[in-house]
């Protein structure tokens, strides 16, 4: 096979898979719980900065994983208690409150780390041959990890008791309470898990992107678009949305330029928001 074509295909695949992992946290928080968390991107940034700190301290890169999860969980608990829970039946205000939170977090990161770009050393720096084309090893590793993570999560959601209880709560909250599920606790735990996934995604992509205080903005918007286009509350929706948005953007960026890529994504998102807000696979 033509190595150039393989490389391009791998690039697209890489974009789609990493996009899916970035959206994963919001798919849990917004797709399942219906919470419009505009601070999602900032939790990804938090994960990335934790990774930076760990690397600066000379720790092995894997140490960043539990550190980021701990940081996000610690922050997520008071956020859930004071911002999200009081606003459960006011989705609009949730949007605004989480946006205020994102402003706060962005500025806090800027104050703490300065406004410039931080670059991290890539943990695995060689390149491997995939179908005859050279491709950075870390990216391959990342894609594999992302695929495993998503598959594991989907399997857990389908098969586990906890996953069934979340499904029950999301589908029929009153009956869930009637059978004895403590829905506010379950919602809180689900929310925290969602934000921890955001932090994890941050750790994973940190070596490959520019780590700066405003990195979250891009991620949160893209994540919303993926969910709107793909459909809320459905694993298939997450994957198809990531494929659609990620695929279209990388294709357009390669064919024309980045602006065209982003603009096309915006147009698609606008169309779905207007006409089909439940997306391809969501329920209306």
Partner 1 sequence: MSARAFEFEDVTGGYGGSVVVRGLTGAVAAGEALCVLGRNGVGKSTLLRLLHGFLPLARGSVRFAGRDLAGLDPARRTALGVSFAPQERIVFDDLTVRENLMLMRPGRPLAALAPYFARFPRLAERLGQHAGTLSGGERKLLSLVRVLAEDRPVALLDEPAEGVQSESVRQMAALIGERKAAGAAFVIVEQNLELVEALADRYLILDQGRTVQAGDRSTLRRAELVAHLRV
Partner 2 sequence: MGSLAVRSAVLLLLLLALPLALGEYWAFQLGLFFLYAIAALGVALCWGQAGFLPLGQALFVGLAAYLSGAALIQWGEAWWVFLLLPFAALAAGALAFLLGLIIFRGRSESGPYFAIITLAISLLAFQVANSWNEVTGGYNGMKGIPGLPGLEGFSDVYYLAAVALACAVALCGWLVQAPLGTLWRAIALNERRVAYFGYDTAMLKAIAFGLSGVLAGIAGALYAPQQGLVTPELVGFALSADLVIWVAVGGRKRVLGPVLGVVLVGILSAELRERTYYWDLIVAAGFVFVVLYASGGIGALLAPLERLLPGRRKALEPLRAPAPKAPRTAVTLAIEGVSAAAGEVRILDRLSLAIARPGIYCLIGPNGAGKTSTFNMLTGELRAQAGEVRLDGDTLSKPTPYRLARRGVGRKFQIPSVFGELSIDENLRIALWSGRTSLLDWLRPAPRRWDTPVLAALRGRYPFLDDGARLASALSHGERQVLELSMALVTEPRLLLLDEPCAGLSGEETAQVMAVIRWARDTLGLSVVIIEHDMALVKQLAEHVFVLHQGRLLAEGDVAAIRSDPRVHEVYVGAAE
Give me the residues that bind partner 1 (CB under 8 A), please.
161, 164-165, 167-168, 171-172, 174-183
- How near is the Cβ of 240 to partner 2 at its closest, in Å? 20
Look at residue 179 and give the partner it binds from partner 2, partner 1, none, a contact being a CB closer than 5 to 8 Å depending on partner kind. partner 1
Q: Is 59 in the site for partner 2 (CB under 8 A)?
A: no
Q: Is 86 in the site for partner 2 (CB under 8 A)?
A: yes
Q: Is 255 in the site for partner 2 (CB under 8 A)?
A: no
Burial category of 213 from C-beta neighbours within 10 Å (exposed 0-12, middle 13-18, buried 19 and up): buried
204 contacts 146 by C-beta, under 8 angstroms? yes
Cα–Cα distances in angstroms (integers) from residue 167 to residues 34, 162, 175, 183, 228, in the given order: 13, 9, 12, 11, 20
Determine the 3-state secondary structure of 136 from DSSP.
strand
Q: Is 111 in the site for partner 2 (CB under 8 A)?
A: yes
Q: Is 270 in the site for partner 2 (CB under 8 A)?
A: yes
Tokens 């509350």 sit on residue: 233
Q: Is 224 in the site for partner 2 (CB under 8 A)?
A: yes
- How near is the Cβ of 154 to partner 1 at its closest, in Å? 15
The DSSP element (H or E) to which 181 belongs, if any, is none
- How near is the Cβ of 176 to partner 1 at its closest, in Å? 8
Q: Is 218 in the site for partner 2 (CB under 8 A)?
A: no
Tell me whether residue 109 or residue 120 sits nearer to partner 2 (CB atom): 109
Find residue 268's DSSP bridge partners: none
**CA 33 – CA 191 distance, rounded (Å):** 8
Determine the 3-state secondary structure of 37 from DSSP.
coil
Q: Is 273 in the site for partner 2 (CB under 8 A)?
A: yes
- How near is the Cβ of 244 to partner 1 at its closest, in Å? 24
Phi first, then psi: give them for residue 170, nearest 5 degrees.
-70, -35
- How near is the Cβ of 88 to partner 1 at its closest, in Å? 14
In this structure, how many other beta carbons lie within 10 angstroms of the beta carbon of residue 111?
A: 10
Tell me whether residue 56 or residue 177 sits nearer to partner 1 (CB atom): 177
Tell me whether residue 66 or residue 277 sits nearer to partner 2 (CB atom): 277
Residues in the chain: 284
Look at residue 277 and give the partner it binds from partner 2, partner 1, none, a contact being a CB closer than 5 to 8 Å depending on partner kind. partner 2
Q: Please identify, among the stretches 80-88, 141-149, 156-164, 185-193, the one whose residues bind partner 2 according to the rule CB under 8 A.
A: 80-88
Q: What is the sign, positive or negative, of the torsion defined by CA atoms of 104, 109, 115, 117?
A: negative
Q: Is 36 in the site for partner 2 (CB under 8 A)?
A: yes
**Rg of the chain's alpha carbons, rounded to an integer?**
19
**CA 110 – CA 212 distance, rounded (Å):** 8
Site residues for partner 2 per CB under 8 A: 36, 82-83, 86-87, 91-93, 95-97, 99-101, 103-104, 107-108, 110-111, 217, 221, 224-225, 228, 259, 262-263, 266-267, 269-270, 273-275, 277
């Amino acid at each position: 096979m033509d190595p150039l074509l393989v490389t391009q295909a791998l690039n697209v695949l890489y974009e789609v898979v990493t996009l899916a992992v970035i959206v994963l946290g919001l798919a849990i928080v917004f797709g399942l719980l219906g919470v419009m968390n505009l601070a999602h991107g900032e939790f990804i940034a938090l994960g990335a900065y934790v990774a930076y700190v760990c690397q600066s301290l000379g720790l092995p890169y894997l140490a960043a994983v539990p550190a980021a999860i701990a940081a996000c969980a610690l922050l997520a608990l008071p956020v859930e208690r004071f911002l999200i829970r009081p606003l459960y039946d006011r989705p609009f205000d949730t949007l605004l409150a989480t946006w205020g939170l994102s402003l706060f977090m962005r500025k806090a990161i800027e104050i703490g780390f300065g406004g410039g770009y931080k670059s991290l050393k890539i943990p695995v720096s060689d390149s491997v041959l995939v179908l005859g084309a050279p491709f950075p090893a870390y990216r391959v590793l990342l894609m594999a990890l992302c695929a495993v993570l998503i598959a594991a999560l989907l399997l857990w959601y389908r098969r586990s008791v906890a996953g069934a209880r979340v499904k029950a709560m999301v589908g029929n909250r009153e009956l869930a309470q009637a059978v004895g599920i403590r829905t506010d606790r379950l919602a809180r735990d689900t929310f925290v898990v969602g934000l921890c996934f955001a932090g994890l995604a941050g750790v994973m992509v940190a070596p490959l992107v520019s780590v700066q205080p405003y990195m979250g903005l891009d991620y949160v918007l893209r994540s919303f678009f993926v969910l709107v286009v793909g459909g809320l509350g459905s694993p298939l929706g997450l994957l198809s949305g990531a494929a659609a948005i990620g695929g279209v953007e990388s294709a357009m960026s390669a064919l024309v330029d980045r602006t065209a890529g982003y603009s096309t994504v915006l147009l698609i998102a606008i169309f779905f928001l207007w006409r089909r807000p439940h997306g391809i696979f969501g329920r209306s």
